[in-house]
Amino acid sequence: MRYVAYGVFTIFFSLIILPSIIVFGFNFHKTFSVPSQEIKLVDNGKLVKLEDTSNYKTINVFITNQNKIQKMDLEEYVKGVVAAEMPAEFEMEALKAQAVAARTYALSKEIALGGKGCELHPGADVCADSEHCQAWQSEGELRQKWGENFDKYYAKISQAVEDTRGLVLVYDDALIVPAYHAISGGKTENSEDVWQSKIPYLRSVVSPGEEVASKYKTTVIVSKEEFINKLKQKEPSLKLDNSNILTQIKDVERTQVGHVKTLKIGNITFNGKDIKEIFDLNSTNFSFEAQGNNIVITVIGYGHGVGMSQYGANAMAKQGKKFDEILKYYYTGIEIVKIEDLLKIQH
């Protein structure tokens, strides 16, 4: 009897809620908003019997804007994800890396959760909502988005998916959780610094070449009054003087990469994530500055910073690196296998 252990899911996710495992979709296209919802992977706690992978050639996708579940070919689904999650202008090898990550994510939800992958939509393995599972766009939506470039871009994305057909990422004989994000800010995060759980393949690595991204560094400017009001909406008991606000911001605890874990503002301790949500920041790697009557918040990077940096992947591809090298760089110690070969793993 052959089994594939999805125990890794159990180990990492049992009773643990991983906040937005996946993605920060690209915000060039406003349709891909920043996911803030938490993804819960239920504890299935079992080995999944995999005698036949033919079941996994299709996937049930909840199409959010049509409010229906559609069964589709897995590879066709992956095309719609790559097209939605990464700019088509990116290098071919980066698109291929994205295709393998997207396929792995979809399959992990499909297999490990056996039809309940997207807990928001019963019967669906995944949904097309980037705030919950991963973004997906239909051909119609892509025609609209790409206009006259549709044929060229669709052919390019299709090639990236075809060239990696059936390939998925595994660690310790189990599918991985292929977290990815847009821009790390120069170095990716260790998983435990962001989500508490130490995941062996989600290790911090330097991620050069991201600076070309227009959203590498962004600023949000709010008046001092607005700054205080917004914080008070979240924490009504906040005490913060309008004068010398910066001196009342203390104990800023950062990850080694620079993302804010916690900080004290006035009498209240906030999580970096709270501040990110309150001021709609692109990441938790932020700093404050006072300018006249305003507070300027400078933000580095885009997304949670764990796993593959999409801009970093593109920079590697520009340097001639292949998709497998990119994936092995951002996911420490993983292997790339064909879905069919999952059958050959003996337990």
Selected range binding Zn ion among 88-96, 115-123, 240-248, 261-269, rule: CB under 5 A: 115-123
Nearer to Zn ion, 118 or 265 (CB): 118
Q: Which of 79, 96, 109, 132 binds Zn ion (CB under 5 A)?
A: 132
Identity of the residue, 122 or 333, whose beta carbon is nearer to Zn ion in the bound complex: 122
User: From the CB of 127, what's the least distance to Zn ion, in Å?
Assistant: 3
**With CB under 5 A as the contact rule, which of the stretches 65-73, 98-106, 120-128, 282-290 interacts with Zn ion?**
120-128
DSSP line for 175-202: E----EESB-SSBPBPHHHHHS---TT-
Q: Cβ closer to Zn ion: 118 or 326?
A: 118
Residue 139 Cβ, how far from Zn ion at the closest point, in Å?
A: 21
The helix/strand count (H/E) of the chain reads as: 10, 18
User: Segment contacting Zn ion (CB under 5 A): 118-126, 149-157, 271-279, 320-328?
Assistant: 118-126
- Do the beta carbons of residue 137 and residue 84 sit within 8 Å? yes
Residue 78 interacts with Zn ion (CB under 5 A): yes or no: no
Kindly state the smallest distance separating residue 91's Cβ from Zn ion, in Å: 29
Q: Is 109 among the residues that bind Zn ion (CB under 5 A)?
A: no
Site for Zn ion in 217-236 (CB under 5 A): none
CA atoms within 13 A on the CB side of 136: 31
Q: What is the DSSP string of 45-83?
A: -SPEE-S-GGGGGEEEEEEGGGTEEEEEEHHHHHHHHHH
Minimum separation from the CB atom of position 119 to Zn ion (A): 7
Q: Is 49 exposed, middle or buried (0-12, 13-18, 19+ CB in 10 A)?
A: exposed
3-state secondary structure of 279: coil
Task: Give start and end residues of each alpha helix (H) in the chain.
Answer: 7-13, 74-85, 92-113, 139-146, 150-162, 191-195, 224-234, 272-278, 310-318, 323-330
**Count of residues that interact with Zn ion, criterion CB under 5 A:** 4
Contact between 127 and Zn ion by CB under 5 A: the answer reads yes
Neighbours of 50 (CB within 10 A): 18
Contact code string over 303-342 relative to Zn ion, x by CB under 5 A? ----------------------------------------
| Candidate residues 8, 23, 97, 118; the one interacting with Zn ion per rule CB under 5 A | 118
Q: How far is CA 231 from CA 156, 227, 294, in A?
A: 45, 6, 15
Indicate which single residue of 133, 295, 316, 326 sits in contact with Zn ion (rule: CB under 5 A).
133
Candidate ranges 80-88, 102-110, 123-131, 293-301; the one touching Zn ion (CB under 5 A): 123-131
Binding site for Zn ion (CB under 5 A): 118, 127, 132-133
